[in-house]
């Protein structure tokens, strides 16, 4: 191969920030090919649109999680924050009778505050991210439950549910559109904005980043705030999809999101990876769940298969790297 070729290849894969995710991308394609042959119903526009619907919530959470993991952190609270955001939305819109135009910002604000608190604990009080967000997970869940004493809320305006159901132009629901927009913005940010590059520096080595004049603490607080806000946004889209809110929702979503990010090639130690890979990771999880359902695999066996896929996807990366 000529050197010029090498260069071009490198640049293409880099452009999409698939970084370590070319392996997973191949895995995703193989999975799709397999499912197309194994089932009648997988390969259809309708099923593809269903999958897009199904990954909306996970996708948006995973974007925020990518940023958190890029700076070397982790956020276990996203599932609970999502539930809290939903309950606040329901409370404001249905119980207090505020219009959605106020209820939605309200829910996002509460989510952002939980993230900011976690970020402050991590950056300024040196609480390890795992612990700070674990505590926030417990707190946000408790608060979500306290709003209605554990009951659900229904009675949103009709258009709200329609946003998740009507496929404009036959293809795009508003919720899927929002997810795609979030991915696009996050990708542009990560790739072309100073702020995005800073995340890599902070994750790579916070001390080097600090000495390079980056406000590491401020970046940390902002990233957790953004992650929580996105979890809140995901909650609002989920509320639209379910046309109801309940405080017990979103348990263990953080684990799915983390798995998606890591399958997508972002390293848990921070500093490498990116949004492109996360998209692949989210799709792998979404397609796998969908495919296993279409194959009528028993739910217990599904649990085993998903575990195996996570391990294989991540372990496969080891073989690609040159041995030491």
Partner 1 sequence: AQETGIGKIGLAVPNLQADFFNQIKLGVENYAAALGIEVITVDARGDTATQVSQVQDLITQGIDAFIYIPAGAAAATVPTRLARQAGIPVINVDREPEGEPGDTFIAGESVMSAYEVCAHIIALAGGEGKMAIIHGQRGTTPEVLRFEGCKQAIDENPGVELVTQQWSEMWSPDEGFQIAQNMLQAHPDLRLIFGQADGLAMGASQAVEVAGLRDQVIIGGYDGDIAALEYLARCEGAFVVTATQSTQAMGVLAVNSAIAAHHGASIPARQIPNAVLTTCENAQEFVENHP
Partner 2 sequence: MTPHAKQPILTLRNIHKSYGPIKVLHGIDFDLHAGEVVALLGENGAGKSTLSNIISGTVLPSAGKMTWQGAAYAPSSPREAIDAGVGMIHQELMLLPHLSIAENVFVGRYPTRYGAVGRTEMERRAKQGLLRLGLDVSPRRLVDGLSTASQQLIEIAKALTLDAKMLILDEPTAALGGEETKLLFQQIARLKAEGVGIIYISHRLEEIKQIADRIVVMRDGAKVREFDTADLPVRTIVESMVGRSMEQMFPPLAVPDEQTVLEVRDLAGASRTFSGVSFSVRKGEIFGISGLVGAGRTELVRAIAGADPITHGSILLNGEDITPRSPGDAIRKGIVLVPEDRKLQGVILDHSIQENIGYSNFDSVGWGGWISSRRLRDFATENIRKFGIKGRGRQKAGQMSGGNQQKVVIAKWLARRPRVVLLDEPTRGIDVGARSSIYEIIHELASQGVAVIVVSSDLEEVLGVSNRVLVMAAGRQTGILDHSEANDVSVMELATA
Binding positions for a copy of itself, 251-270, rule CB under 8 A:
255, 258-259, 262, 267-269
Please tell me whether residue 208 binds a copy of itself under the rule CB under 8 A: no
> What is d(CA 113, CA 124) in angstroms, rounded to the nearest whole number?
16
> What is d(CA 254, CA 78) in angstroms, rounded to the nearest whole number?
6
Among 5, 40, 45, 149, contact with a copy of itself (rule: CB under 8 A): 149
Please tell me whether residue 146 binds a copy of itself under the rule CB under 8 A: yes
Binding positions for partner 2, 112-151, rule CB under 8 A:
none
Q: How far is the CB of 161 from partner 1 (least distance, A)?
A: 7
Question: Is 79 buried (19+), middle (13-18) or exposed (0-12) by CB count in 10 A?
Answer: buried
- On whether the CB atoms of residues 83 and 215 are closer than 8 A, the answer is no
- On whether the CB atoms of residues 51 and 171 are closer than 8 A, the answer is no
Contacts of range 187-190, beta carbons closer than 8 Å, 24 or more positions apart: 187/17, 187/274, 187/275, 187/276, 190/17, 190/66, 190/67, 190/70, 190/274, 190/275
> What is d(CA 20, CA 6) in angstroms, rounded to the nearest whole number?
17
Please tell me whether residue 9 binds partner 2 under the rule CB under 8 A: no
Choices 134-142, 160-168, 170-178, 281-289; region in contact with a copy of itself by CB under 8 A: 134-142
Helix (H, G, I), strand (E, B) or coil at 168: strand
Please tell me whether residue 157 binds partner 1 under the rule CB under 8 A: no
Q: Which one of partner 2, partner 1, a copy of itself, none interacts with residue 153, CB within 5 to 8 A by kind?
A: partner 1
Please tell me whether residue 205 binds partner 1 under the rule CB under 8 A: no
Among 68, 100, 134, 257, contact with a copy of itself (rule: CB under 8 A): 134
Question: Which helix H or strand E contains 153, and what residues bound it?
Answer: strand 153-154
137: Cβ contacts below 8 Å, ≥ 6 apart = 76, 77, 79, 80, 254
Q: Which one of partner 1, a copy of itself, partner 2, none interacts with residue 268, CB within 5 to 8 A by kind?
A: a copy of itself
Site track for partner 1 across 93-132, x = CB under 8 A: ----------------------------------------
Q: How many residues bind a copy of itself (CB under 8 A)?
A: 47
Q: How far is the CB of 239 from a copy of itself (least distance, A)?
A: 20
Q: What are phi and psi of 154, to 5 degrees?
A: -125, 170
Among 213, 296, 298, 319, contact with partner 2 (rule: CB under 8 A): 213
CA angle 315, 129, 121 (to 5 degrees): 170
CA angle 149, 161, 299 (to 5 degrees): 70
Among 50, 161, 272, 302, contact with a copy of itself (rule: CB under 8 A): 302
Among 62, 86, 121, 275, contact with a copy of itself (rule: CB under 8 A): 121
Question: Is 120 buried (19+), middle (13-18) or exposed (0-12) by CB count in 10 A?
Answer: middle
The footprint of partner 1 (CB under 8 A) covers 39-41, 44, 46-47, 50, 53-54, 57, 145, 148-155, 161, 164-165, 238, 241-251, 289-290, 293-294, 296, 298-300
The footprint of a copy of itself (CB under 8 A) covers 74, 76, 121, 125-128, 130-132, 134-139, 141-143, 145-146, 149-150, 255, 258-259, 262, 267-269, 298-308, 310-311, 314-315, 317-318
């Amino acid at each position: 191969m000529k050197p010029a070729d090498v260069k071009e290849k490198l640049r293409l894969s880099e452009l999409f920030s698939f970084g370590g995710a070319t392996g997973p991308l191949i895995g995703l394609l193989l999975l799709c090919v397999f499912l197309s042959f194994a089932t009648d119903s997988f390969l259809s526009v309708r099923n593809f649109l269903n999958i897009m619907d199904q990954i909306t919530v996970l996708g948006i959470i995973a974007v925020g999680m990518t940023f958190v993991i890029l700076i070397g952190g982790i956020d276990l609270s996203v599932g609970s924050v999502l539930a809290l955001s939903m309950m606040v939305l329901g409370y404001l819109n249905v119980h207090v009778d505020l219009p959605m135009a106020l209820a939605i910002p309200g829910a996002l604000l509460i989510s952002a505050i939980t993230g900011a608190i976690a970020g402050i604990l991590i950056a300024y009080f040196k609480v390890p991210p795992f612990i700070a967000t674990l505590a926030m997970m417990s707190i946000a869940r408790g608060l979500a439950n306290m709003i209605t004493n554990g009951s659900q809320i229904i009675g949103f305006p009709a258009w709200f549910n329609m946003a998740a159901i009507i496929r404009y132009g036959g293809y795009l629901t508003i919720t899927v559109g929002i997810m795609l927009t979030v991915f696009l913005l996050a990708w542009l940010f990560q790739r072309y904005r100073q702020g995005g590059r800073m995340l890599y520096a902070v994750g790579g080595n916070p001390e080097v980043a600090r000495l390079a004049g980056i406000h590491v603490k401020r970046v940390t607080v902002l990233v957790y705030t953004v992650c929580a806000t996105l979890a809140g946004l995901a909650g609002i889209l989920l509320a639209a999809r379910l046309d109801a809110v309940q405080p017990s929702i979103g348990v263990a979503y953080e684990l799915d999101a983390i798995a998606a990010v890591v399958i997508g090639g972002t390293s848990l130690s921070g500093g490498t990876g990116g949004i492109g890979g996360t998209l692949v990771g989210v799709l792998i999880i979404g397609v796998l769940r969908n495919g296993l359902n279409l194959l009528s695999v028993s739910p217990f066996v599904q649990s085993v298969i998903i575990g195996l896929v996570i391990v294989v996807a991540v372990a496969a990366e080891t073989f690609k790297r040159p041995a030491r």
